[in-house]
Structure 1
């Protein structure tokens, strides 16, 4: 194996470990703060549509936290369509909003880096 292949292997392993850590962090947030998040966003149709996921076990809670992090991080489209209450978003706790935004941007970064490595591997010819 060349140095470049070893480097890409370590980088890919880092992506896998980062993804596992993100899932653990998201599940911890779901099991400890889901009620607080749903209470603060109770007037939002977009959140009410996702709320039954809280009873869907770990997978449902993971989907719910992922959806809420996207809603809190990128609210403009939902605000324009009336699916998100501006008052609920304004009163949402800032530390929790920051935590959800970091979660959202970190998973975007992990996926982006994974696709970048995949693309480089395609160009170099490591993947068929």
Structure 2
């Protein structure tokens, strides 16, 4: 899994041209990875301010508006990829880094609930 992080304030401040540039880069990556069969799925996520975090405790669950962790960079999107090596995953992840996506986490998936894992 490729987890992408960006600063939501910077995302909101992007110009139409910058948004188009980001869109074209991701569109090219999708096209390439769909062609190789490496792209399983992915999605962009809403702004952190529009999320709800539910926390467990022995006294009972509690819900709060906003992200799990307060940070400048927040999880903004993800891709689920299927590739042969960790090096290939890194190669793919490096393609999404730019002025918008400033950090990428590569995390292997150990369970595929409802997804084709072949």
- Superposition TM-score tier, normalisation by shorter sequence: 0.3 to 0.5
Task: Select the structure that is richer in strand.
Answer: 2
Q: Which has the higher contact order (CA 8 A, sep 6+)?
A: 2
TM-score for both structures, normalised by structure 1: 0.30
Task: Select the structure that is richer in helix.
Answer: 1
